[in-house]
Amino acid sequence: MSNKKRSLLAIFIFLISTLLISACTQSLSEIPVITPTVISTNLFVSPFPSAENPMAQIEEFAKQTAAAQTTIANGGTPATPQPLVTITGTVGTPVPTTVVPATPTNAVAVATTAVVVSGPTNTAIPAGVRPASYTLQDGEFPYCIARRFNVDPDALLSASGLTSPDLYYPGLTLTIPQSGAFPGSRMLSTHPTTYTVASGDQTVYGIACIFGDLDPSAIASANGIAVSAKLTAGQALKIP
């Protein structure tokens, strides 16, 4: 190796050594010192005063907070919270009350009366008495009435404004003449006897006309029935 090359190598080695030594001896930068800040112990005071029952105090605080929020939401000013009032005592047992409806003072008792509607009827007429008028019943006709009351049939028709003995109906009122007599025998069938009802359409009035001079009330009385009783076919009646 030539002297020149040796000189360059020595210089190079010297530079490298210098750099290495400088790196090893370089001092580290100091870490900044942090100074602690002292915090006042007053900041750690509990927001709730000490009490024997801390949960009751927490509940009271929550109620006051809710009341204040409600007042503010309604546009008012929060009121000063009032202390809780504890109510002590014995709760009584409720007594059931029975309500009796009052009876109205103006109540009117209404009695129901059965009303029987029937056609015009005649009051029982004593034998030998002529009424001033007579209303025909079902089964009767003018000549029957003339025999019963012993009056002239023609006089009866004339007094009643009838031109024919065949013009009649139940409910027709006849005017009874107060003079004269029936020409001939007033009895059409012999009696006393027993009569058997032919059909349910027959009436006590009509059966009296079969016998001529007999009054319907006499037949009803002899059989213990009403003069307007409903008859049945085959029923036996006593004819006085």
Q: What is the CATH number of the domain that holds 177?
A: 3.10.350.10
- The pTM of this model reads 0.50
Q: Which residue would you say has higher pLDDT here, 75 or 104?
A: 75
Do residues 214 and 226 both lie within one domain?
A: yes
pLDDT at 25 over 60: no
Q: Are residues 134 and 149 in the same domain?
A: yes
Instruction: Label residue 90 by pLDDT band (50, 70, 90).
Output: very low
According to DSSP, the residues that pair with 134 across neighbouring strands are: 174
Split into its structural domains, the chain has a count of 2
Domain assignment present for residue 169? The answer is yes
104 confidence band (pLDDT: 50, 70, 90): very low
| Cα–Cα distance for residue pair 121/109, rounded to 1 Å | 33
Task: Evaluate whether residue 168 is within a structural domain.
Answer: yes
pLDDT band at residue 56 under the 50/70/90 scheme: low
Expressed as residue numbers, the domain containing 210 is 187-240
Q: Give per-residue pLDDT as tens, 114-149.
A: 333 334 555 667 666 899 999 999 999 999 999 999
Largest CA distance in the chain: 208
pLDDT at 44 over 50: no
How high is the pLDDT of residue 145?
A: 98
Count other C-beta atoms under 10 Å from residue 64's C-beta.
15
φ, ψ of residue 143 in degrees (nearest 5): -65, -35
* Peptide bond before residue 78 is cis, with ω within 30 degrees of 0: no
* Per-residue pLDDT, 60: 65
149-161 CB burial, b ≥16 within 10 A, e <16: bebbbebbbebbe
Q: Is residue 170 one of the residues assigned to a domain? A: yes
| The last residue of a domain, from among 167, 185, 203 | 185
Q: Which of 117, 134, 145, 138 is nearest to 230 (CA)?
A: 138
170 and 153 fall within a common domain: yes
Which one, of 180, 176, 160, lies nearest residue 168 by Cα?
160
List of E strands, the chain: 133-135, 173-175, 193-196, 236-239
Which of 90-104, 176-190, 210-224 has the least mean pLDDT?
90-104
Alpha carbon distance 213, 182 (integer Å): 10
Residue where a domain stops, chosen among 142, 163, 185: 185
CATH code where residue 208 lies: 3.10.350
Question: Is 181 in the same domain as 199?
Answer: no
List all residues 6 or more positions away from 35 whose beta carbon is below 8 Å from its beta carbon: none
**What pLDDT score was predicted for residue 7?**
76
Whole-angstrom Cα distance, residue 109 to residue 100?
21
pLDDT above 80: residue 13? yes
Indicate if the pLDDT at residue 88 is higher than 60.
Answer: no
Is residue 34 helix, strand or coil? coil
The answer to whether the beta carbons of residues 153 and 141 sit under 8 Å apart is no
Work out the percent of the chain whose per-residue pLDDT is above 90.
45
Decide if 147 is inside a domain: yes
pLDDT for 16: 81
> How is residue 116 written in tokens?
């029987």
**How many C-beta neighbours within 10 Å does residue 227 have?**
19
Does 138 reside within a domain? yes
Q: Is residue 57 part of a domain?
A: no
180: phi > 0 → left, psi -120 to 50 → alpha, else beta; which? Answer: left
Q: Is residue 135 part of a domain?
A: yes
84 domain residue, yes or no: no
